[in-house]
């Protein structure tokens, strides 16, 4: 029996995102995929701002942004009372200030491909195709007593033969009809009725003026969403059409979808010059009754939540499930953190799944209430939902890795348990204007961000010296928790953010622990010090103001490897940094 640390069932969004993290940590896993090769086309396409941020943090954001359609505006069309449609409003797709990244559209096959290439680059990690997982069992006795045991047994069928694998951990990323979920005896709870949707990727010839904008059309003949797709030259466009309740998806034909679309568009005409892909599928609003088995098998993605595609959440929430469990397994399996942090996956993502279903119910009602929702109410509801659909509302509850302590007053726009908002800063060493989020790469490091205020003020300067002394001490958290083979910034990285004129400060005034000598040549890393200052070409980011931090008081913010905020502390309370990490990190000898 082959033994692996992590066995991932399914190479969709959830499985590949978890695998990319594991590859980044250098943890090898086995990814079993039923298909004979990578996904070729189809399915989800909407990439939330938050997902773009994640791709950027893995170093694949630029490719995504270059290839994708950027959704900047949403247009609303509704019945004019005489059987024709008319435009009723327009709005920004993402309200300004939510994220420094846009909402984009790119097909799921390409998104999966970006992750596959990234994990290959990180760790030569491959997917094993043609493996159909048939069963999963957990030896509960071994799970409880031995962290190094392989209590999970996964059976798969490959080329007509049964193969068995032993795993320390397994991830059920095998989609809505998850075999793993069924093998564990878990059920999906929620609505019994399924909404039926038709989806077509087409190249339309039309006189409809907003065909290259995301548009919602609510006509007497039904509801249609237009999602312009990547590739400006070929006019690829996706149409989502909600079909009548009770429709059997298997009975839907391409002709049905085309006829309904043409009738919704009236008085505009639409022809379909090419049909690239189409499908009809039924979706219920449900989530799994359990998200884990003995904290050894975890359910992620559609295996534990399904809902309508209206708000473009499916791929994103699934991918973010994988993102959440991936780094936690990475920390545990590289001996950095206690296995107890895995419990936070369930705490955090189960809540997200329940919120998702509730949001989908609200959004479905908004779309479907026909005459009872005025075009104006519909538009307002759509805009209100914007923060959610951008993927920026998840708030994780208190746990060992998300402190319940600390004062929100110190950074009034930073919420513990939510992803740290970004703002433009100027890097001290080379005056490059950069987004704060660019410092938060998905490389497995925790960040201790020190908003120190104006370093020309003696009290601020002496606070930085005290914090530096504490962090540099041989019994301080950096030495205590960082493996000896790594550089001193290899697990807990400091980031200093000053306020005011950067040219009034010299590097020597900043303690060396904030730019330690690292790497094979042991050269001081100057790229960890920033200023909230005017840049040469891109203006001023006003980061302190945006985050709600007073330059006089400053703040210490501990950020998790997934960019979520663990704690906001007073500068004077720097000793709590060690106390926080003692809660789950393992001292390294
Ligand atoms: C036909 C269809 C159309 C969709 N259209 C949209 C859309 O337009 N917009 C949108 O937002 N969402 C859409 N979705 C949903 C969206 O694709 C999912 O929410 C998202 O892909 C979930 O990611 P996942 O990783 O959880 O699962 P998936 O992406 O479904 O990946 C699961 C993977 O597991 C593999 N697998 C399954 N069973 C086994 C097994 N026993 N052994 C080994 N491997 C297995 C599958 O082959 C697949 O590769 C659609 C889904 C379907 C099925």
* 281 catalytic per annotation: no
Closest to 154 in 3D by CA, of 22, 31, 19, 37: 31
Q: Is the dihedral of CA 447, 451, 452, 454 positive or negative?
A: positive
Query: For ligand 1, is residue 179 a contact (CB within 6 Å)?
Result: yes
Separation of 117 CA from ligand 1 center, angstroms? 19
SS3 assignment, position 287: strand
Task: Using the mean position of ligand 1's atoms as its centre, give its distance from the Cα of residue 176 in Å.
Answer: 7
**Ligand 1 near 14 CB (within 6 A):** yes
What integer pLDDT is reported at residue 210 of this predicted model?
Answer: 97
**Residue 302 alpha carbon to ligand 1 centre in Å:** 7
CA distance 422 to 482: 27
- Report the C-alpha gap between 532 and 147 in whole angstroms: 45
Q: Give the span between the Cα atoms of 231 and 245, in whole angstroms.
A: 34
Calculate how far, in angstroms, residue 173's C-alpha sits from the geometric centre of ligand 1.
Answer: 9
Each residue's pLDDT, cut to its tens digit, for the chain (589 residues) gives 899 999 999 999 999 999 999 999 999 999 999 999 999 876 788 999 999 999 999 999 999 999 999 999 999 999 998 989 999 999 999 988 889 999 999 999 999 999 999 999 999 999 999 999 999 999 998 777 788 899 999 999 999 999 999 999 999 999 999 999 999 999 999 876 667 889 999 999 999 999 999 999 999 998 899 999 988 778 999 999 988 878 888 999 999 999 999 999 999 999 999 999 999 987 788 999 999 999 999 999 999 998 877 777 889 999 999 999 999 999 999 999 999 999 999 999 999 999 988 888 888 777 764 546 777 777 778 777 888 888 888 999 999 999 877 667 899 999 999 999 999 999 999 999 999 999 999 999 999 999 999 999 999 999 999 999 999 999 999 999 999 999 999 999 999 999 999 999 999 999 999 999 999 999 999 999 999 999 999 999 999 999 999 999 999 999 999 999 999 999 999 999 999 999 999 999 8
Neighbouring residues of 443: CB distance < 8 A, sequence distance ≥ 6 = 24, 561
Quick one: pLDDT at residue 194? 67
Residue 560 annotated among the catalytic residues of the structure: no
Residue 368 has a pLDDT of 66
**Residue 137 tokens, joined:** 């069992």
Is any ligand 1 atom within 6 A of the Cβ of residue 102? no
Could you tell me if the CB of 279 is within 6 A of ligand 1?
A: yes
pLDDT value, residue 95: 86
Catalytic residue selected from 240, 287, 345, 544 = 240
SS (H, E, C) 492-538: EEEEEEEECCHHHCCHHHCCHHHCCEECCCCEECCCCEEEECECCCC
pLDDT value, residue 383: 78
pLDDT computed for residue 195 by the predictor: 73
**Whether the CB of 174 sits within 6 Å of ligand 1:** yes
Instruction: Identify the sign of the CA torsion 470, 474, 475, 477.
Output: positive
Query: What's the pLDDT score for residue 38?
Result: 95
Q: If DSSP codes are grouped into helix, strand and coil, which group holds residue 244?
A: coil
Please give the distance, rounded to the nearest whole angstrom, from the Cα atom of residue 12 to the centre of ligand 1. Answer: 6
87 classed as catalytic: no
Identify whether 309 is a catalytic site residue: yes
């Amino acid at each position: 029996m082959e033994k692996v640390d992590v066995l991932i069932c399914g190479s969709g969004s959830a499985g590949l995102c978890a695998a990319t993290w594991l590859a980044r940590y250098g943890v090898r896993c086995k990814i079993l995929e039923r298909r004979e090769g990578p996904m070729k086309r189809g399915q989800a396409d909407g990439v939330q701002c938050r997902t773009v941020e994640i791709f950027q943090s893995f170093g694949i954001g630029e490719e995504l942004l270059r290839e994708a359609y950027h959704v900047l505006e949403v247009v609303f069309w509704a019945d004019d009372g005489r059987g024709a449609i008319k435009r009723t409003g327009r709005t920004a797709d993402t309200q300004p200030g939510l994220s420094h990244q846009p909402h984009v559209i790119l097909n799921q096959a390409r998104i999966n491909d970006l992750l596959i290439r990234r994990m290959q680059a990180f760790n030569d990690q491959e997917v094993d195709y043609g493996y159909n997982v048939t069963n999963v069992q957990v030896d509960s006795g071994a799970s409880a007593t031995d962290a190094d045991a392989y209590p999970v047994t996964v059976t798969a069928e490959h080329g007509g033969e049964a193969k068995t694998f032993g795993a320390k951990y397994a991830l059920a990323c095998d989609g809505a009809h998850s075999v793993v979920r069924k093998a564990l005896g878990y059920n999906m709870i929620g609505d019994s009725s399924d909404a039926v949707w038709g989806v077509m990727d087409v190249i339309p010839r039309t006189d409809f003026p907003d065909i290259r904008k995301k548009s919602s059309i609510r006509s007497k003949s039904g509801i249609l969403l237009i999602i312009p797709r990547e590739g400006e030259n070929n006019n690829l466009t996706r149409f989502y059409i909600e079909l009548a309740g009770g429709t059997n998806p298997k009975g839907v034909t391409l002709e049905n979808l085309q006829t309904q679309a043409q009738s919704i568009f009236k008085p505009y005409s639409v022809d379909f010059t090419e049909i690239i892909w189409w499908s009809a599928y039924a979706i219920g609003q449900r989530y799994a009754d359990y998200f884990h088995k003995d904290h050894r098998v975890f359910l992620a993605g559609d295996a534990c939540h399904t809902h309508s595609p209206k708000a473009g959440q499916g791929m994103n929430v699934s991918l973010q499930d994988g993102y959440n469990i991936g780094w936690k397994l990475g920390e545990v399996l590289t001996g950095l953190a206690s296995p107890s942090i895995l419990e936070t996956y369930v705490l955090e993502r189960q809540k997200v799944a329940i919120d998702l279903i509730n949001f989908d119910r609200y959004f479905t009602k908004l779309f479907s209430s026909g005459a009872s929702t005025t075009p104006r109410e519909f538009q307002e509801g759509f805009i209100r939902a914007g923060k959610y659909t951008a993927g920026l509302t998840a708030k994780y509850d208190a746990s060992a890795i998300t402190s319940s302590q600390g004062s929100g007053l110190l950074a009034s726009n930073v919420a513990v348990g939510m992803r740290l908002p970004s703002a433009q800063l100027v890097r001290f060493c080379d005056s490059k204007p950069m987004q704060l989020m660019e410092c938060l790469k998905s490389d497995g490091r925790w960040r201790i961000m020190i908003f120190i205020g104006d370093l020309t003020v003696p009290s601020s300067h002496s606070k930085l010296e005290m914090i530096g002394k504490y962090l540099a001490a041989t019994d301080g958290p950096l030495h205590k928790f960082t493996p000896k083979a790594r550089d001193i910034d290899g697990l807990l990285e400091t980031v200093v953010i000053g306020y005011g004129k950067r040219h009034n400060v010299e590097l020597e005034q900043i303690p060396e622990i904030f730019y330690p000598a690292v790497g094979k040549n042991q050269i001081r890393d100057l790229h960890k010090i920033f200023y909230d200052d005017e840049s040469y070409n891109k203006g001023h980011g006003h980061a302190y103001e945006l985050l709600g931090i007073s330059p006089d008081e400053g703040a210490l913010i501990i950020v998790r490897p997934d960019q979520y905020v663990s704690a906001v502390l007073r500068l004077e309370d720097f000793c709590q940094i060690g106390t926080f990490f003692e809660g789950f990190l393992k001292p390294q000898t």
